[in-house]
Amino acid sequence: MELNVYNIKGEVTDRKVTLDDSIFGIEPNDHVIWLDVKQYLANQRQGTHKSKERNEIAGSTRKLIRQKGGGGARRGDIKSPVLVGGGRVFGPKPRDYSFKLNKKVKALARKSALSLKAKENAIIVVEDLNFDTPKTSRIVELTKKLQLADKKLLFVLPVQNKNVYLSARNLGKVSVVTASDINTYGIMHCGSLVITESSVAAIDNLFKA
């Protein structure tokens, strides 16, 4: 697949880039995309939820009422789960939600996500972004020229660029990542991928390494 390269002003240049069909042109596998997104979201969970059970509540152990004949539920001390302020039965405890996925599965998921965006014509290639100073207005102007101002965008850079990152930080619909940090969730969560010219080769090297 060949795509035109846009300059920083949002204009089409005379250059074209070729996207590798083994990365951007495969048949998307919906299940592995789901698995990778599920793992990403699971890894974001802190897992620090906690409620006190009966043995962790502070209170007297005196039996409040007799076992039978009271007409109500059986209960022992004031820490009983049937009472307000008592312990919770089988409450949540801190746990780790992360789980393992094989490297080949994760690679297939990313390629499937990239291929899906390519099929949707949601990949734009722009020339390398080189900002001398952070300037949010330049990112805003570029998105308007590309007619992408109303979409969630993921900018993919070959290496970290502090000025580009700071320029896009205040924009709620724009995220910036490097080619090595690209993930399935980020690809699927955005409306369009804006890939810099050098990042195309970086992505190729990432999957062929």
Mean pLDDT of 80-108: 94
Considering only the C-alpha atoms of the chain, give the largest distance between any 2 of them, rounded to a whole number of Å.
Answer: 91
Place of tokens 């076992």: 67
pLDDT > 70 in the chain, percent = 100
Q: How confident is the model at residue 105 (pLDDT cuts 50, 70, 90)?
A: very high
| The two structure tokens encoding residue 203 | 């992505």
pLDDT recorded at residue 6: 87
Other CB atoms within a 10 A radius of the CB of residue 126 amount to 21
d(CA 188, CA 126): 20
pLDDT recorded at residue 2: 86
Taking all residues of the chain, what is their mean pLDDT, rounded to a whole number? Answer: 92
Torsion of CA 152, 159, 201, 117, to 10 degrees: -10
Domain ranges of the chain: 2-29+101-208, 52-92
Please name which of 126, 128, 130, 105 lies closest in space to residue 184, comparing C-alpha atoms.
105
Amino acid at 80: S
Q: Which CATH number is 2-29+101-208's, of 3.40.50.300, 3.40.50.360, 3.40.50.620, 3.40.1370.10?
A: 3.40.1370.10
pLDDT at 128 > cutoff 70: yes
For residue range 165-204, list pLDDT tens digits in order: 999 999 989 999 999 999 999 999 999 999 999 999 999 9
Task: Using the CB atoms, write b or e for 60-96: b if 16+ within 10 Å.
Answer: eeeeeeeeeeeeeeebeebbbeeeeebbeeeeeeeee
For residue range 47-82, list pLDDT tens digits in order: 999 999 999 999 999 999 999 998 988 889 999 999
Other CB atoms within a 10 A radius of the CB of residue 166 amount to 15
pLDDT recorded at residue 31: 97
pTM: 0.83
pLDDT recorded at residue 3: 87
For residue range 15-28, list pLDDT tens digits in order: 888 998 999 999 99
d(CA 154, CA 196): 11
pLDDT recorded at residue 184: 95
pLDDT at 163 > cutoff 80: yes
pLDDT recorded at residue 118: 92
pLDDT at 99 > cutoff 90: yes
pLDDT at 96 > cutoff 90: yes
pLDDT at 5 > cutoff 80: yes
pLDDT > 90 in the chain, percent = 68
Q: How confident is the model at residue 209 (pLDDT cuts 50, 70, 90)?
A: low
